[in-house]
Structure 1
Amino acid sequence: MSQPSISIIRVPFGLGAGRPGSENGPDSIMKFGLAKKLAGLGYDVQADSSIRLPDGIRSPAGAKMKHVQEVLAVSGLLGEAVSKAVAGGRVPLILGGDHSIAIGSLAGLTRHYGKMGVIWVDAHSDLNTESTSPSGNMHGISLAVGLGLSHIKLKDIVEGAASIQAENCVIIGARDLDRDEKELIRSCGLTCFTMHEIDRVGIEKVVREALQIAGAGTDGVHLSFDVDSVDPIEAPGTGTPVRGGLSYREAHLLLELLSESGRITSADFVEVNPLLDRNNQTSKLAVELIGSLFGSRIL
């Protein structure tokens, strides 16, 4: 049986983050052999899609949330590209860019999947809203947008899109949560496996439970993987590093288990920042981790 086709969609956009550099992530990941690795695993790889901010779009200065119009413009273009990939029977693999690009990923995906599960692997929950965000950076509200908790709605970005349901959304690897995010997690029915849970019960049990939650009655499961979920010893090239993250093998096993489940229908990998990296360590790690998601194994 032949492997499905993968559509790699590059999104060199970093205005949703607080530090420049993540816009260089997609090209850096591609430079270190992602397409070749996936082709070697038997996939038909289409890698010619790139989403760029159109000229002339600029948010007003002084607003609490920064670069909203730019994020919305890129989200709309990305949503349509993701939708086109799914409609063509291809697996969308989106390379960021900062984590605000997940807004566009989810908008395009929910047009096609009546009920969408989401596994959000991140040191942060990205559950601030316009009223609670301490930084004003759009990457910090991306999951809140996906859940319909923001003024920004997925249906306004891509026609036919819909919010995801908290009962089918799981966060893995969180260890830096704002007070309002903690309260929201407790109240909205979303499952959050912090590093505390991972330390106590192990990554295998966490992933299996996450798959049950995200896959319960859903038509597809999207993986949104922020490299800051990995400990900065292994992934230094990211804008908001937090000590005490996933180990090298925990990250690989997480993705290997997701791969073995056969439930992941799309993925984005975000927040690789080559300007902050050491010897391209994080870009190379991203290629390895994506390989594990798509079937690469030790033996």
Structure 2
Amino acid sequence: MTEAETFPPVSRDRRLALLGAPVESGASRRGCAMGPAALRVAEIGERLRRLGYAVDDHGDVAPQPVEGLELPGKARDAAAIAGWARVLAERTYGLLQDGATPVVLGGDHSLAMGSVAGVARHCAEAGRELFVLWLDAHADFNTPSTSPSGNMHGMPVACFCGEDGFDGVFDDAFQARVGPANVAMVGVRSIDEDERTLLRKRGVEVVDMRAIDEWGVAAPMREFLRRVKSRNGVIHVSLDVDFLDPGVAPGAGTAVPGGATYREAHLIMELLYDSDRVVSADIVELNPFLDDRGRSAVVLAEMTASLFGQTILARPARPVS
């Protein structure tokens, strides 16, 4: 398979594959399991079809049974999370192998352990470098030994970056990792103390809200995209609803004030589409029980449409250099 066939551009003749992951075992509050259904009610598939894509909704996955897994330190429901991670790794890998672009609908953010693992395996086999754009109020770089709560939705980045403490989550087929220097976190405004120390040691790029207040989102995004292009890399986008300010999207179980505005978020999505580098995505942590008449679900569906090319006016194709 040639490089072009392995990673075709996300043009409108490329198939998008929606995959629900109603996992909430990693979160401290129940309700995320309703997220995939709420996104479908918000017409996420229909919005993408109106852009000209062939969209296949593969329904919701079910976790693989994993018995007896215990991780050292604090890691609540580790066996359940491993069950979700294993099936999601297999499904995202298989969809990419089949030429589709997986869009995982969550579900709490622990699902990214699996989705990114599958994408990383595909990229490793294709000889392409994978970058992850983490749009989140939280860094999610805790490990079982650093986490104050043990909630595993605060651990996925540490897991797919290969930190210690996650042995047994995957079998040998999904051991590909993402280099910490290939992770860019944007919109972060809540980091635990030990997590902060680990992020600095590993060299993860963190664009916090202070940086966005000073420089806006365009400058750091363009720098990130230039770096990806210079390495001929591809991007997995992981979008947590709490990346947005709670006034824009209240349906978050771990909402933090002072998040991204509606237009800042859409500009990021539009720049990502222009880059022609996005090969997969997660839309996570939507808790309809905490939402206001479906407002957050609609915002996330609109942002996903922007990620795949919806604009106010027609623009020159992919101007990012």
TM-score normalised to the size of structure 1? 0.94
Q: Is the 8 A contact 1:116 1:218 kept in 2?
A: no
| Correspondence for 1:280 among 294, 313, 320 | 294
Matched, 1:81 2:91: yes
Aligned to 1:263: 277
Matched, 1:12 2:26: no
- Cα distance, 1:234 vs. partner? 0.5
Aligned to 2:51: 41
Structure 2 CA distance, aligned partners of 1:21 and 1:57?
25
Q: Secondary structure at the match of 1:38?
A: helix
Structure 1 CA distance, aligned partners of 2:207 and 2:228?
13
Aligned to 2:81: 71
Matched, 1:225 2:230: no
Say which is worse superposed, 45-54 or 195-204, in terms of deviation: 45-54
Matched-pair identity in %:
37
Aligned to 2:319: none
- Cα distance, 1:160 vs. partner? 4.4
Count of aligned positions: 298
Going from structure 1 to structure 2, the CA distance change for 1:274 and 1:81 (only over 3 Å counts) comes to same
AA paired with 1:66? R
What CA RMSD, in Å, does the superposition of the two structures yield over aligned residues? 2.0
- Cα distance, 1:67 vs. partner? 0.7
- Cα distance, 1:48 vs. partner? 2.1
Aligned to 1:25: 35
Q: What are structure 1's unaligned runs of at least 5 residues?
A: none
Matched, 1:106 2:116: yes
Q: Is the 8 A contact 1:170 1:214 kept in 2?
A: no
Structure 2 CA distance, aligned partners of 1:189 and 1:137?
24
Structure 2 CA distance, aligned partners of 1:162 and 1:294?
27
AA paired with 2:311? R
AA paired with 1:191? E
TM-score normalised to the size of structure 2? 0.88
Structure 2 CA distance, aligned partners of 1:19 and 1:157?
29
Aligned to 1:125: 139
Q: Secondary structure at the match of 1:132?
A: coil
Matched, 1:246 2:260: yes
Q: Is the 8 A contact 1:203 1:254 kept in 2?
A: yes
1:137-148 correspondence to structure 2 within 5 Å: 137-148=151-162
Q: Is the 8 A contact 1:117 1:215 kept in 2?
A: no
Q: Is the 8 A contact 1:103 1:154 kept in 2?
A: no
- Cα distance, 1:185 vs. partner? 1.9
Q: Is the 8 A contact 1:175 1:242 kept in 2?
A: yes
- Cα distance, 1:56 vs. partner? 8.4
AA paired with 2:59? S
Going from structure 1 to structure 2, the CA distance change for 1:172 and 1:223 (only over 3 Å counts) comes to same
Structure 1 CA distance, aligned partners of 2:137 and 2:121?
28
Aligned to 2:8: none
Matched, 1:208 2:222: yes
The Cα offsets for residues 213-240 of structure 1, whole Å up to 9 and x where unpaired, read as 4454254210111110000001100110
AA paired with 2:193? R
| Correspondence for 1:165 among 176, 179, 189 | 179
Structure 2 CA distance, aligned partners of 1:224 and 1:154?
23
AA paired with 2:76? K
